[in-house]
Amino acid sequence: SDNVTLAGAPLREAVWRTNHPYDPVALQNYQWTVARDAWSYKRYFYVAEALRAYEAAGVGMTPEQMINVTAIVAGKGQDYPYTCATPNNPGDNVISVVYAPAEGVMWPAWESGTAEQWMPAACNAYVQFDMNALQL
């Protein structure tokens, strides 16, 4: 179809997800009434750029660097990718998680406050959980 836009940033050793569908069938059955928006679309290319930079430097990412990239692209409002100091934050990020599956460790952050005191998850502390310590 002429109105199809192919998007993506294939990387050899990285996988990440988006919460916005791109498949036409998924879009028809999506829980929200909006499809991929331009700002959300752009943020995922920030991730690809960061991952390529680490790969080009020949270094792996530390947990702090993984959290930094994750927090930058989290929903804090279109004009605020690099800051949380916004009045009446327009974001919608209620939970944000970094996961290192090989190590079995994750770092979740969650929203806090209500109304004028509300802050998106990515503007709060990420807390380390060792999933290996769980008795499942």
Length in residues, the chain: 136
Confidence at 124, pLDDT banded by 50, 70, 90: very high
- The number of beta carbons lying within 10 Å of the beta carbon of residue 109 is 24
Confidence at 5, pLDDT banded by 50, 70, 90: low
Could you tell me which residues come within 8 angstroms of residue 18 by beta carbon, excluding any fewer than 6 positions away? 40, 44
The predicted pLDDT at position 117 comes to: 82
The predicted pLDDT at position 6 comes to: 59
CA distance linking residue 38 with residue 121, whole number of Å: 21
Confidence at 110, pLDDT banded by 50, 70, 90: very high
**Does residue 75 register a pLDDT over 80?**
no
* Global confidence as pTM: 0.74
Q: Which two tokens stand for residue 113?
A: 């406050």
